[in-house]
Amino acid sequence: MTNPLTGKTILLTGGTGSFGQKFVEIVLQKYDPRSIRVYSRGEFLQWQMEQKFNSHPKLRFFIGDVRDKARLSRAATDVDIIIHAAALKQVPTCEYNPIEAVRTNIEGTANIINTAINAEVNKVIFISSDKAVQPVNLYGATKLVAEKLVIQANSYTGCKGTIFSCTRYGNVAFSRGSVIPLWEEQKNGVNLLITDKRATRFWLTLQDGVQFVIDSLDKMQGGEIFMPKIPSVRVLELAEIVAPNSQKKVIGLRPGEKLHEILLNRDEARHSLEFESYYVINPEFPFWKTRESTGAVLPEGFEYASDTNKSWISKEKLRGIIEEWRTKLQEPVLSAEKTNQSN
């Protein structure tokens, strides 16, 4: 596998989020980009991130919203790669503010597409979600539409040469707003809240998610949706490991929430291929040509879901991962004052 980031200028939307923070950390440690442009709305979060990375000379910070076409156009000047991670992603928030979700997740993605084509960006990869598969909430519906926009964008590029692909995966462990940090706060209270004892989820760490996106950048021809092969976990089992001494209170599935996650449904599987560590959904359009022809054709009726997954993460491994996460939380963080003094 080649290095798709060496010497490249990268625009990272939603760059101050959990994915963006880990992406910057890994890329600065393992790769040699020309620069990373962190694009987001939050001034304070950008300031915090700048301190965290000690004002790294390869980092640039752009205040902006993906709804703002002019600002996006300025940020994308001379950019080689766009990683589009910006989104309104909290399911209840999107349900209560549907128009805002559409403006950010759908119209914002359309702005990314048009900006990338006009700026002659080489590659654009969109971070999607399992919620886009057979969506039952507005967030999932906006992600489904965004996927369709990104895949079809390959037919708009003409001689510009920009290619577009997607990655799709489930809930990310320890990310901002995810269940483990929430339970960590709840475990000293009266009850630990669980939606359904039967629920299952895919398990993916932030680091693995970032690495999968980087690997997909190297493989992409334009038009694919890449999904990693990852283990599943039972939600009740996870709760017992996080808070073994807490009472568990079942509150029922929240509006728009699924009992199990699906990353690849039966209809998509008919035009998908299986590889050693991932699946690829091939687009059903004549514009698409690929070197991804060596994968295995999936059997009729195949579905990649968290409850029927062949791979499950063990209790022992879960305990080790959670303890490692807790240890990192206790590590001292260099204050902004000390950081500025060291510079």
Residue numbers annotated as active site: 131
Residues constituting the chain: 343
Can you tell me the distance from the alpha carbon of 235 to that of 199, in angstroms, rounded to the nearest whole number?
6
Please identify which residue in the block is written with the tokens 């990683």: 83
Amino acid symbol at 156: Y
Residue 151 token pair: 């895949």
Say if CB 33 and CB 58 are below 8 A apart.
Answer: yes
- E-strand stretches of 49-121: 59-63, 81-84
* List of E strands, the chain: 9-13, 35-40, 59-63, 81-84, 123-129, 163-169, 172-173, 191-194, 200-202, 204-205, 225-228, 232-234, 247-250, 262-264, 272-274, 278-281, 296-297, 304-305
Could you tell me which residues come within 8 angstroms of residue 29 by beta carbon, excluding any fewer than 6 positions away?
A: none
Non-local (6+) Cβ contacts of 335 within 8 A are: none
HSE (CB half, 13 Å, CA atoms) of 299? 3
In the numeric block, which tokens belong to residue 25? 């950390």
Q: Report the relative pairing of strands 278-281 and 225-228 from DSSP bridges.
A: antiparallel
